[in-house]
A and B are shown apart, each in its own frame.
Chain A
């Protein structure tokens, strides 16, 4: 396991896999401008597990969308794997996202008419080319090797989330972006998924996790808290420190 870095007041742009520098996202509508995220500056290094927390409307979704390359900042610099995504075209962004980000959704979002195996292969399909063997191995890794041919309707919530995790891992992305990964699960399945994420973290994966669950947040190395579009971050258990207004 890697040594826990000192996060008290500084970012570490030199080995950052995600770097935000004065990132702002504004939405214009009905004659007014809404600033969903204001001057966010922080970085996440490789192999780090970061929990993003905050109340509804705090800007968590906006932040996650930006990191996930599903949106682009209005201002500021956002670097994923040392590449400034703000300058990319839509097509380049699609390609980049397939390469760099593995998504784990709260609602799983599996295609209902594809089997577990095919849902995993779907990520390969949009990335490069499909490989059934690799997809089966990914399912084995999350303990679903025997359920590969089942449709999502035939799987439990926890199993569906595990398929989602297998799909997120299949292209070996540097970043796993988990949006409330246990939000739709019962206690038993929450534990299973939490253990899976811990295992992935131990194996060196970078995990950015949005969560309302304090127990899930406690598993992370660092917490980035959002409030009214502004970012705070502190190590797990430490005092909350505003690093940039």
Chain B
């Protein structure tokens, strides 16, 4: 029964030079692991980054014309045009006077909607939806009132008493305002909402498309993107993509050099073995096939190990940075395999050339 086979020889050869084989395998595992981790994260990157950017608040502002407030159905139309993933909140503004005689901007809004939209606000305690006169005081505005538990405000001769539930800190204009439920605001001031703040998830292209739809649906309103935010988000997402691609390529190149050194050393160490096989009748194609098969086996083994390591790394990175779990994605495996095979092929070019140039006669003579 035949005992000697190509696979058997390959296995023995790899085991015989285990240090060299391990070195190449580790390099391949690193490249496959990094590629797996980055590609796995990349698949969800947009969603994760945009989710993070959502916490920065509105990236589109819709304002009523100077002559009239927003239509009662404006918010509903905005939500329809912006899409189901968009967050929107109405704001109505009036300048009232506190019990200390200090003018203060009062905003009427839907606290539940604002809480989702402006999650970056630092709030001690959000008012309950059922509390009709609960108020949120900006940290500067709180200094304008005598008693936060009973905030007395006057607008056009009409007074209202609000209960300060929590303080608001943003570092911006919001700190100088007092926020109250929209219904109570309307009843007190008779002023309708004039602004809708909107958060549309996605890159600049998506946001611009939504803005076009909004302008078409509500031509009488002014729809403006918060440019700094939209463009900033887009740039960061694009740069993150570029960074990931660059990292994968750089690591692939480094690994290729490492594998090149290992494979070259392997061929040089075994040149007498290859010369012997040639003398015994092995064709150039056969010997090249044996050598390339070795490189391929190491590449595939590296992919298998690297996929496990990379998936674990992706999970850890996702948990640490985005507080969500990223499950292994089998869909990245073909790309990772292709990458590793390309690395092995690139690294095998020089050693293959050395193999082609072998002079069996001289080598077998001991020269």
Which of B80-88, B112-120, B164-172, B278-286 is near enough to bind chain A?
A: B278-286
Total CB contacts across the A-B interface at under 8 A: 82
Question: Of B277, B281, B365, which is within 8 A of A61 by CB?
Answer: B365
- The answer to whether A121 touches B4, judged by C-beta atoms less than 8 angstroms apart, is yes
Q: How far is the CB of B365 from chain A (nearest CB, A)?
A: 6
Considering the chains assembled together, what is the distance between the CA atoms of A90 and B4 in angstroms?
26
Considering the chains assembled together, what is the distance between the CA atoms of A118 and B8 in angstroms?
10
- The answer to whether B272 touches A132, judged by C-beta atoms less than 8 angstroms apart, is no
A179 contact set on B, CB distance < 8 A: 364-365
Closest to B8 in A: A118
Considering the chains assembled together, what is the distance between the CA atoms of A71 and B276 in angstroms?
14
Known A-B contacts A61-B361, A90-B284, A94-B283; the reply to A112 vs B4 at CB < 8 A is: no
Q: Does A216 contact B (CB under 8 A)?
A: no
- The answer to whether B9 touches A114, judged by C-beta atoms less than 8 angstroms apart, is yes
- The answer to whether A97 touches B15, judged by C-beta atoms less than 8 angstroms apart, is no
Those of B258-315 within 8 Å (CB) of chain A: 272-273, 275-286
Considering the chains assembled together, what is the distance between the CA atoms of A167 and B280 in angstroms?
9
Q: Does A105 contact B (CB under 8 A)?
A: yes
Please give the number of chain A residues whose Cβ is less than 8 angstroms from any Cβ of chain B in the complex.
Answer: 37
Q: Mark B345-367, 1 if CB is under 8 A from A, else 0.
A: 00000000000000011001110
- The answer to whether A129 touches B2, judged by C-beta atoms less than 8 angstroms apart, is yes
Q: How far is the CB of B126 from chain A (nearest CB, A)?
A: 72
Q: Does B13 contact A (CB under 8 A)?
A: yes
A94 contact set on B, CB distance < 8 A: 278, 281-284
Closest to B2 in A: A130
- The answer to whether A95 touches B364, judged by C-beta atoms less than 8 angstroms apart, is no
B280 contact set on A, CB distance < 8 A: 97-98, 103, 122-123, 126-127, 167
Q: Can you give 20 A-B contacts (C-beta < 8 A)?
A: A61-B361, A64-B361, A68-B279, A91-B285, A94-B281, A97-B279, A97-B281, A98-B280, A106-B365, A106-B366, A109-B275, A111-B273, A117-B3, A121-B3, A126-B280, A126-B286, A127-B280, A127-B281, A167-B280, A179-B364
Q: Closest 3 A-B residue pairs measured CB to CB?
A: A98-B281, A113-B16, A126-B281
Q: Which B residues lie at the A interface, using CB under 8 A?
A: 1-4, 9, 12-13, 15-16, 272-273, 275-286, 360-361, 364-366
Additional pairs, 11, CB under 8 Å, beyond known A91-B283, A97-B280, A121-B4 = A70-B279, A94-B278, A94-B282, A94-B284, A97-B279, A98-B281, A103-B279, A113-B15, A117-B3, A124-B4, A127-B280
